[in-house]
Chains A and B, each alone.
Chain A
Amino acid sequence: MSTVTTADHHDEHHDHKPTGIKRWLFTTNHKDIGSMYLIFALVMFFIGGAMAMVIRLELFQPGLQFVDPQFFNQMTTVHGLIMVFGAVMPAFTGLANWMIPMMIGAPDMALPRMNNWSFWILPFAFLILLITLFMPGGGPDFGWTFYAPLSTTYSNDTTALFVFSVHIMGISSIMGAINVIVTIVNMRAPGMTWMKMPLFVWTWLITAFLLIMVMPVLAGVVTMVLTDKYFATSFFDAAGGGDPVLFQHIFWFFGHPEVYIMILPAFGIVSAIVPTFARKKLFGYASMVYATASIAILSFLVWAHHMFTTGMPVFATLFFMYTTMLIAVPTGVKVFNWVATMWRGAMTFEVPMMFALAFIVLFTIGGLSGVMLAITPADFQYHDTYFVVAHFHYVLVSGAVFSIVAAAYYWLPKWTGHMYDEKLGQLHFWCSLISVNLLFFPMHFVGLAGMPRRIPDYALQFADFNAFISVGGFLFGLSQLIFVWVIIKCARGGEKATAQVWEGAEGLEWEVPSPAPYHTFGTPPQIK
């Protein structure tokens, strides 16, 4: 894909952006908003991470030492909510903001004012959520999945604030998704046909459709929780003709596509990084697009695999077992394509590539334990144990989070104009890789041996593994401080980055100078 870029530096001369705090409050620039999303996600990653540290501290030894069970439950709940809605999703939205317009040759996002708003309501959502922790009765303590009636009849009075906070997060996500779709559909540069779009753009387009389809479902279910608790409805109360299992059906109809919302953009990132550092075109571009679309469609047909123990009819259980197993097929295609891309390439191993390679291996491990979880009779033994905790942390931490970190290293030179410190980056990678496995791999064993999740104290046979896991957790938490240092160092200075940055990099974002000018592609490039 070769392009003819017209010079767009003239934009900087008549750029009247305000300075100071006003620049950030009123900005409609996709790069500013992207940066804010990314910084916000990083802050949330550390707040959610601090909560994980509290959890691991309490679980370091059997017995109750540091926190009471109620606070422990608040920690597991808010940790989950923050990591899903505050860290992973905003980080992907930040990357979308920064990269999608540059990748498709557009001057900005299609709806810049909405873009500003979708970011600026987010801090308030999380402020509300975090404030509840300091209110009488404490924050939400019913798990991030907030199953009724634990979240309705039996929850504390801050539940209303939890509901409003989730509403705001949902509105933000929906606006972000609409923006992505409108931008991609309308603002591609001439010649950028659908099948020429970079995979990151494709995966985000499909993710955005998932978002606008399922976030309203989440809004619906939290509203039903609100009215059940405060306005005497009985959606989930059997005594009034409702059904607590209905909650789970609605929640997971949102929740399963949500899982793919957090992983499809990761696929896009890895599909950008692997070819760059293998110096070879992505293998099976078209099949990657079709596989992504298949995963998205299948994601609407598998929700009840989270609910095998709720007592569904055998017929329904079998249906969901088969559809869940099917998801392994397109996911497998993606992994095989990445390996085929590396095959007979000429690889180098800079930090983004290292994180991308770790992603492929560790995400695949999480995917394989996912196939095991699909086998319903075995799932009866795995369900709600640490085996599940291991599974979803492999796909979310060493999957989604690793891809975000890889993306940050990959595009940092484009964003800041400086190369990051390669040695520090490699240190960050190896510390993260080792500690993340110390942290999550033994969880498979404690889960299989019978330790339920979401418990503040446990039987003695789980003690050694838990101490081990906690140490892994603390090390992983500390390792991320190196990341912050790398980012700060890179933002302040360093070796000047070229426009292409990486020898094997291809695509429009590598044809504008580094750092990318405040406005890019004021005149659309022509793609041949």
Chain B
Amino acid sequence: MAKTRGWRWSLPALLLAGPACASGSNLNMTPGVTDISLQVYNLHMTIFWICCAIGLVVFGAMFVSILLHRKSRGVEPATFHESTKVEIIWTAIPVLILIVMAIPATRVLIAMEDTSDSDVTVLITGSQWRWHYEYLDYDINYFSILATPRGQIEGRLPKGENYLLEVDRPLVIPTDKKVRFLMTSDDVIHSWWVPDFAIKKDTNPGFINEAWTQVNEPGIYRGQCTELCGMDHGFMPIVVIAKEPADFEIWAKAEEARIAEIREEEQRLLALQMNLDEQMELGERVYMAHCAACHQPNGEGLPPMFPALKGNQVTMEDRAEHIKVMVDGRPGTSMASFARQLSLRELTSVITYGRNAWGNDTGDVVQAAEVYEYMQGKGSN
């Protein structure tokens, strides 16, 4: 049944699924877009057909027996109950089948693990619940976060075609080049999976794993975190855009320029005074994207794991502590450091937002210089 690739079992599925999975199949493993992924697909199909054949023989014998050897047909039971010869035969045949299977599996596995001679290296860092990509050969690094609006998840808005499989900033890699991935994590174990590349590798905190791919066709490829990593495990997708090498270089230059610009702007920002309205507007957007999953859109949190920010002593009174928690996180809890994840402008605004939203109304307007001073003072960033 699984061979009927492209077969859709109902019209709605066709409408919904068509665009969502680029490589087509709704029922079977994707052959993917790399040489390795195709080899993995072939292994999968070979073992699948072998299993079908074994099933056919075993169940066939069983059903023949059920049909013919029943008491209602008046048969007398036979008395045989032992045969060393038969036992040896049905031990030996499976061993041979398994050896036949193990040879190509070993070959593909060794090829998959060979990360030498790569052209581009990307360090992937998982954290609850976002991915961070750092290009070691370029001055580029950024976070990649779920872009599906909460309204779609909660059913207030109609779901888009890439529901839960869309991010704000996809990973971009060149085609026809060997791209090496180094993987680690800031907190718990995540797992980075893109089915079209046949890559699934755990990101272990404190350790680095390696994987590689060489994509043959430009395109958009989607995947998900596959290791249970806490509350929003289902909400940290992966999107990879593969571009022709020339286009990739153009993108990389533009990305480097964009990041440099953000840095310059931060320096300018230090001298600027941002007003409350401006900060509340940006702060709300940042809060909804980064904070609301745990602390909830209404600021009430999910105590005791995720404390309420509404009416909280820190957000209402202790301004220095508020900045400290945002910059350093709270070690030993799920509260991560946001110093790297957010720009100075975003960080400042979201602190101001926390001190004025949901009736906190402290009237505090935090400025970039104040946050920057704390970060410099402790020598971070």
Flag the segment in A112-120, A162-170, A251-259, A340-348 that touches B: A340-348
A137 neighbours in B (Cβ, 8 Å): 303-305
CA distance in complex: A325, B100 (Å): 11
Contact B44 A378 (CB under 8 A): yes
* Known contacts A309-B202, A454-B233, A459-B164, A377 near B108 by CB under 8 Å: yes
Contact B70 A378 (CB under 8 A): no
Contact B204 A378 (CB under 8 A): no
Does A361 make an interface contact (CB < 8 A)?
Answer: yes
A141 neighbours in B (Cβ, 8 Å): 230-231
Interchain CB contact (< 8 A) of B62 among A245, A279, A361, A449: A361
Does A375 make an interface contact (CB < 8 A)?
Answer: yes
Contact B40 A368 (CB under 8 A): no
CA distance in complex: A365, B234 (Å): 29
Contact B228 A154 (CB under 8 A): no
Interchain CB contact (< 8 A) of A444 among B2, B87, B183, B227: B2
Contact B69 A368 (CB under 8 A): no
Does B28 make an interface contact (CB < 8 A)?
Answer: yes
Q: Report B86 CB to chain A, min CB distance, Å.
A: 7
Residues of A within 8 A of B (CB-CB), count: 98
Does A333 make an interface contact (CB < 8 A)?
Answer: yes
CA distance in complex: A455, B164 (Å): 11
Does B200 make an interface contact (CB < 8 A)?
Answer: yes
Q: Report A422 CB to chain B, min CB distance, Å.
A: 15
Q: Report B265 CB to chain A, min CB distance, Å.
A: 34
Does A336 make an interface contact (CB < 8 A)?
Answer: yes
Does B259 make an interface contact (CB < 8 A)?
Answer: no
**Chain B 65-106 interface residues, beta-carbon cutoff 8 Å to A:** 65-66, 69-72, 75-83, 86-87, 90-91, 94-95, 98, 101-102, 105-106
Contact A150 B229 (CB under 8 A): yes
Does B20 make an interface contact (CB < 8 A)?
Answer: yes
Flag the segment in B186-194, B347-355, B371-379 that touches A: B186-194
Does A507 make an interface contact (CB < 8 A)?
Answer: no
Interchain CB contact (< 8 A) of B78 among A345, A349, A444: A345
Flag the segment in A8-16, A57-65, A397-405, A431-439 that touches B: A57-65
Which residues of chain B have a CB within 8 Å of any CB of chain A?
A: 2, 9-10, 12-13, 16-17, 20-21, 25-30, 39-40, 43-44, 47-48, 51, 54-55, 58-59, 61-62, 65-66, 69-72, 75-83, 86-87, 90-91, 94-95, 98, 101-102, 105-106, 108-110, 112-113, 128, 152-155, 159, 161-165, 183, 187-189, 191, 193, 195, 198-202, 204-207, 209-210, 223-235, 302-305, 332-334
Does A364 make an interface contact (CB < 8 A)?
Answer: yes
Q: Indicate the member of A143, A282, A287, A369 with the most B CB atoms within 10 Å.
A: A287
Interchain CB contact (< 8 A) of B207 among A245, A325, A332, A381: A245
Contact B21 A461 (CB under 8 A): yes
Contact B27 A448 (CB under 8 A): yes
CA distance in complex: A384, B155 (Å): 27
Residue of chain B at shortest CB distance from A457: B234
User: Lowest 6 CB-CB distances: which A-B pairs, in order?
Assistant: A238-B206, A455-B234, A461-B17, A311-B209, A344-B78, A281-B81
* Known contacts A284-B87, A368-B55, A381-B198, A459 near B165 by CB under 8 Å: yes
B210 neighbours in A (Cβ, 8 Å): 311
Contact B231 A69 (CB under 8 A): yes
B9 neighbours in A (Cβ, 8 Å): 464
Contact A378 B207 (CB under 8 A): no
Does A244 make an interface contact (CB < 8 A)?
Answer: yes
Contact B109 A321 (CB under 8 A): yes
Q: Can you name 17 extra interface pairs (CB under 8 A) apart from A73-B231, A381-B195?
A: A63-B153, A147-B189, A149-B205, A284-B87, A329-B98, A341-B81, A344-B75, A372-B48, A375-B105, A376-B109, A383-B226, A449-B26, A454-B233, A454-B234, A460-B161, A460-B163, A461-B16
Residue of chain A at shortest CB distance from B332: A153
B62 neighbours in A (Cβ, 8 Å): 339, 342, 357, 360-361
CA distance in complex: A326, B82 (Å): 23
CA distance in complex: A115, B153 (Å): 51
Does A506 make an interface contact (CB < 8 A)?
Answer: no
Does A278 make an interface contact (CB < 8 A)?
Answer: yes
* Known contacts A375-B101, A377-B105, A463 near B235 by CB under 8 Å: no
Q: Report A310 CB to chain B, min CB distance, Å.
A: 5
Contact B61 A245 (CB under 8 A): no
CA distance in complex: A164, B235 (Å): 32
Contact B58 A336 (CB under 8 A): yes
Number of A-B contacts (CB under 8 A): 309
A343 neighbours in B (Cβ, 8 Å): 61, 65, 69, 78
Q: Report B307 CB to chain A, min CB distance, Å.
A: 11
Contact B21 A450 (CB under 8 A): yes
Residue of chain A at shortest CB distance from B183: A311
CA distance in complex: A67, B209 (Å): 35
CA distance in complex: A80, B274 (Å): 52
Interchain CB contact (< 8 A) of B188 among A65, A149, A278: A149
Contact A309 B163 (CB under 8 A): no
Does A1 make an interface contact (CB < 8 A)?
Answer: no
CA distance in complex: A339, B232 (Å): 47
Contact B233 A280 (CB under 8 A): no
Contact B228 A381 (CB under 8 A): no
Does A142 make an interface contact (CB < 8 A)?
Answer: yes
Contact B28 A448 (CB under 8 A): yes
Q: Report B48 CB to chain A, min CB distance, Å.
A: 7
Contact A347 B69 (CB under 8 A): yes
Does A335 make an interface contact (CB < 8 A)?
Answer: yes
Contact A333 B91 (CB under 8 A): yes
Interchain CB contact (< 8 A) of B109 among A63, A314, A345: A314
Does A40 make an interface contact (CB < 8 A)?
Answer: no
Residue of chain A at shortest CB distance from B154: A64
Contact B226 A452 (CB under 8 A): yes
Does A458 make an interface contact (CB < 8 A)?
Answer: yes
CA distance in complex: A243, B200 (Å): 20
Interchain CB contact (< 8 A) of A317 among B17, B81, B109: B109
CA distance in complex: A522, B53 (Å): 52
Q: Report A450 CB to chain B, min CB distance, Å.
A: 5
* Known contacts A311-B202, A448-B28, A328 near B98 by CB under 8 Å: yes
Contact B207 A283 (CB under 8 A): no
CA distance in complex: A69, B305 (Å): 13
